[in-house]
Chains A and B, each alone.
Chain A
Amino acid sequence: MGCYKYIKRKALKLGIILGLAFPLVLTGCGDDAADNKEKDGYVAVICKSSQHEFWRTMEKGAMDAGEELNLKVTFEAPEDESHLDDQIALIEKAIDNRADAIVLAPLDTDKLNDVVEKAVDNGIPVITLDSDITSGKRLATIGTNNVTAGAIAARYEAQLIDDKGQVAIIGHVEGAQTAIERMKGFVDEINVNHQDIEIVEETYTGGDVLVAYDVTKRILTQYPDLKGLYATNEGSAVGAARAVEEMGLSDKIIVIGFDSSDDEISYLKKGVIDGMMVQNPYNMGYLGVRNIYKAINGSSIEKTIDTGAIYVNRDNLMDEDIQWYLYPLGKN
């Protein structure tokens, strides 16, 4: 065989080898290990409900943090905010499942103390979200400063009704710390700085839209001179707005709500709701998981973290910052 033929044959072989080897070498091999690696911990996030967008947004924040920190995060909640026993059962379940930590949005300030303390005694640290409990064993609380948010809502309500007239408060869950604080902030601000305004009724709806609708209709009928309504959560605000719209009182009644569901934004755009205090549930979920992760890894964490609340009305609705507050997950 001639040298030429030999080289030709070898060159062909070499070409095949290089053709096969180079893409492999230059592109590298995929690493599937990353997809299957074990998680660094298990955090049970237990909320008040999964009915409202508020909680779904919080869930997304918690899940994102879990993904960033390589944690297994479970998100569970009772059917609605009135099922305290279900929430206790979920905490018990997390203890039984040997969760590394619990992030809890408590339905009650006192009634969850025992089960939370049981968790802590079992070596499971607990952080509360959105509202707090009275037990000192929880590590930290993360949420909105509801008293401040209530006071801000009161200032806007007063401004919109020209600082005088009757207003009613449509609270959500009786006994819930968020309801208590949001109402307290509102009431204190009115009583101290807006004394020509009369709070004619403070009532609770359990956060249910239909109940809020009925209660609002009753109040509007009972107080024909009523000038303003303050609803302390999403369900209450939507129920109240629906009643005001149906009764054709959108121009007469100033409605200040809480939170920011699509229904609320729609009522805001229609002029039924005049303003709302928007919280940051995404940050609550995100920072809740992030801080409990720091805690289980031995880092110190702040006892109280305020994720902030912002007043949104038709004037600032389209501002970029407000849009980020309203749609932390992006618009659908």
Chain B
Amino acid sequence: MSKYKWYKSIRTRMLISYFAVVLMILVVGIGGIYHIKRVYRNGNRIYDTNLKSVDYLKTLNINVRQIDQRVLSMLEGLGNMTVAEYRAEIEKLKDSNAMIMEKYEKLEFSELEKRRYKQCRLSMLTLNKNIESLMDMVEEGNIDGAKSLYDQELMPVEACTFELLDAVAELATKNAEESNADNYGIYQRIMIAIIITIVLAVLLAVGISLRVSGTITEKLGIIQRWAKRISEYNVSEDIKELGEDEFGVTSKALNDSQFMIRDLVEKIMEESTLISDTGKEISGSIRKSKQRIEEMNLKMLESDKGTMELVNQIKDIMLVNSLPPELIEKMKALHELTNNNSVSLDLFQEELNSMATYMEQIAVTSDHQNRMAEEHKEQVRKFKVNKEPV
């Protein structure tokens, strides 16, 4: 006998299966979120270090070029500015550079970039010293000396500074590209993981659905075949064991019902037979009694005729005037008694007729009951309650 176990039910299995799919998606989701966070952090890092540093280096480069332009303008006497004004502007640009360098140095960058930057910083310091010397010369009025210093010393150091600024910027850009490539790699891995998960989840879902629907269809088929047998009055075969799930419980209930039907069929058969037999017996007995009553009735009719003759004879006798009054009186009493007797006989006869009619009705009813029972038996006989021998 099947016993329902919740952990073996189809619903639980379905829930477990879908939970597995959800868990899988969840695991990938959490992994995805973690990697997306990595991408986000990488993005921030690229901005905070590489891009900011490239930006700072670019500004330094522009500032150095502006200083160079001011120095050249000062040496060539271009513009309407005084030497002091040029110096103030150059100092301002140098201060700006110092500030940018201070900011830049606070950034976190690779050891190699740090080393390159330090080299660049030293070159910028040398350049600053050369600019100081040059401006001193200009202020002293030694323009030729300053021009010579510019050509011989300042320009080559500037070239070195630009080269090193470029080198650091290239390195920072390369680091940014590498970080970005790392991000791209993470993105690709997330995409692959998502695709694999979707494919696996779909395969799993399809597999589970096929398996579960297969199980349901198979068990429904068994029940369907059972129902077909029932429709063909075959209640002899129980549904086979369908496990401990909802189908198992249902099949057990159906088998119990079938057992009840089988039991009922047998009982109906027995009782119909009994009813049929009893009906036949009653019908026979009643008909025999009716026949006897009819015979009695005939005898009664004959007796009534005799009584009527007797009454008439008494009447005739009474019509004789020679009879003493006492006798007449006695004849009158006898006539009345006989007459009454005849009436009673008529009444009795009527009653017997009526009884015979009732008995006929009972017999007819019994016949009908008998036929009904036979018909029921015929119907119930259609039910197959025992397995055919194999």
**Same assembly:** yes
Residue A232, interface by CB 8 Å: no
Q: Contact mask B1-29 → A, CB, 8 Å, 1/0?
A: 00000001010010011001000100000
Q: Are A7 and B160 in contact (CB under 8 A)?
A: no
Residue A28, interface by CB 8 Å: yes
Q: Are B13 and A4 in contact (CB under 8 A)?
A: yes
Across-interface contacts of B122 in A (CB, < 8 A) = 280, 308, 310, 321, 324-325
Contact of A291 among B31, B118, B163 (CB under 8 A): B163
Contact of B35 among A4, A6, A26, A304 (CB under 8 A): A26
Residue A18, interface by CB 8 Å: yes
- Choose the segment among A205-213, A221-229, A258-266, A282-290 that binds chain B (4+ C-beta atoms closer than 8 Å): A282-290
Q: Contact mask A13-40 → B, CB, 8 Å, 1/0?
A: 0100110011001111000000000000
Q: Are B163 and A305 in contact (CB under 8 A)?
A: yes
Contact of B204 among A10, A145, A291 (CB under 8 A): A10
Q: Are B171 and A7 in contact (CB under 8 A)?
A: no
Q: How far is the CB of B78 from chain A (nearest CB, A)?
A: 23
Query: Contacts A7-B13, A324-B122 known; A286 to B167 CB distance under 8 Å?
Result: yes
Within 8 A of A (CB), among B172-224: 174, 185, 188-189, 192-193, 196, 200, 204, 207-208, 211-212, 215
Q: Are B125 and A302 in contact (CB under 8 A)?
A: no
Across-interface contacts of B167 in A (CB, < 8 A) = 68, 286, 290
Contact of A14 among B189, B200, B212 (CB under 8 A): B200
Residue B43, interface by CB 8 Å: no
Residue B153, interface by CB 8 Å: yes
Q: Are B160 and A287 in contact (CB under 8 A)?
A: yes
Q: How far is the CB of A132 from chain B (nearest CB, A)?
A: 12
In the assembled complex, the Cα of A25 lies from the Cα of B188 at a distance in Å of 9
Q: Are A7 and B16 in contact (CB under 8 A)?
A: yes
> Residue of B at shortest CB range from A148?
B153
Q: Are A7 and B163 in contact (CB under 8 A)?
A: no
Q: How far is the CB of A106 from chain B (nearest CB, A)?
A: 18
Q: Contact mask A184-228 → B, CB, 8 Å, 1/0?
A: 000000000000000000000000000000000000000000000
In the assembled complex, the Cα of A305 lies from the Cα of B31 at a distance in Å of 52
Contact of B119 among A21, A28, A147, A282 (CB under 8 A): A282
Across-interface contacts of A325 in B (CB, < 8 A) = 122
Within 8 A of B (CB), among A282-331: 282-283, 286-287, 290-291, 302, 304-310, 321, 324-325, 328
In the assembled complex, the Cα of A83 lies from the Cα of B171 at a distance in Å of 38
In the assembled complex, the Cα of A322 lies from the Cα of B299 at a distance in Å of 162
Across-interface contacts of B156 in A (CB, < 8 A) = 145, 302, 304-306
Contact of A25 among B157, B159, B174, B189 (CB under 8 A): B189
Residue A2, interface by CB 8 Å: yes
Q: Are A304 and B13 in contact (CB under 8 A)?
A: no
In the assembled complex, the Cα of A21 lies from the Cα of B204 at a distance in Å of 16
> Residue of A at shortest CB range from B207?
A10
> Residue of A at shortest CB range from B152?
A145
In the assembled complex, the Cα of A195 lies from the Cα of B185 at a distance in Å of 69
Q: Are B115 and A287 in contact (CB under 8 A)?
A: no
Q: How far is the CB of A18 from chain B (nearest CB, A)?
A: 7
Q: How far is the CB of B132 from chain A (nearest CB, A)?
A: 14
Residue B164, interface by CB 8 Å: yes
Number of B interface residues, CB 8 Å?
45
Query: Contacts A7-B16, A145-B153 known; A328 to B119 CB distance under 8 Å?
Result: yes
Across-interface contacts of A26 in B (CB, < 8 A) = 31, 35, 189, 193
Contact of A6 among B123, B171, B193, B211 (CB under 8 A): B211
In the assembled complex, the Cα of A3 lies from the Cα of B215 at a distance in Å of 8
Across-interface contacts of A25 in B (CB, < 8 A) = 189, 192-193, 196
In the assembled complex, the Cα of A321 lies from the Cα of B193 at a distance in Å of 49
Residue A11, interface by CB 8 Å: yes
Contact of A7 among B24, B185, B208 (CB under 8 A): B208
Query: Contacts A18-B24, A321-B125 known; A305 to B196 CB distance under 8 Å?
Result: no
Number of A interface residues, CB 8 Å?
41
In the assembled complex, the Cα of A307 lies from the Cα of B119 at a distance in Å of 9
Q: Are B155 and A304 in contact (CB under 8 A)?
A: yes
Across-interface contacts of B174 in A (CB, < 8 A) = 68
Across-interface contacts of A304 in B (CB, < 8 A) = 155-156, 159
Query: Contacts A3-B13, A28-B185, A145-B153 known; A308 to B160 CB distance under 8 Å?
Result: yes
In the assembled complex, the Cα of A145 lies from the Cα of B153 at a distance in Å of 7
Across-interface contacts of B196 in A (CB, < 8 A) = 21, 25
Query: Contacts A18-B200, A304-B156, A305-B156 known; A287 to B163 CB distance under 8 Å?
Result: yes
Across-interface contacts of B164 in A (CB, < 8 A) = 283, 287
Q: How far is the CB of A68 from chain B (nearest CB, A)?
A: 7
Across-interface contacts of B31 in A (CB, < 8 A) = 22, 26
Q: Are A283 and B8 in contact (CB under 8 A)?
A: no
Q: Contact mask A27-58 → B, CB, 8 Å, 1/0?
A: 11000000000000000000000000000000
The 5 closest A-B pairs by CB, nearest first: A306-B156, A302-B159, A308-B126, A304-B156, A305-B159
| 29 A-B pairs in the complex with CB atoms less than 8 angstroms apart | A6-B211, A7-B17, A7-B20, A14-B24, A14-B204, A21-B196, A22-B31, A25-B189, A25-B192, A26-B31, A26-B189, A26-B193, A28-B188, A68-B171, A147-B152, A280-B122, A282-B119, A283-B119, A283-B123, A286-B119, A287-B160, A287-B163, A302-B159, A304-B156, A306-B126, A306-B156, A308-B123, A324-B122, A325-B122
The interface of chain A, by Cβ under 8 A from chain B, is 2-4, 6-7, 10-11, 14, 17-18, 21-22, 25-28, 64, 68, 142, 145, 147-148, 280, 282-283, 286-287, 290-291, 302, 304-310, 321, 324-325, 328
- Other than the given A25-B193, A28-B185, A306-B159, 20 more pairs (CB < 8 A) read A3-B215, A7-B17, A10-B204, A11-B20, A14-B20, A18-B200, A25-B192, A26-B189, A26-B193, A28-B189, A68-B167, A142-B160, A148-B153, A280-B123, A282-B119, A305-B156, A306-B160, A307-B123, A308-B122, A321-B122
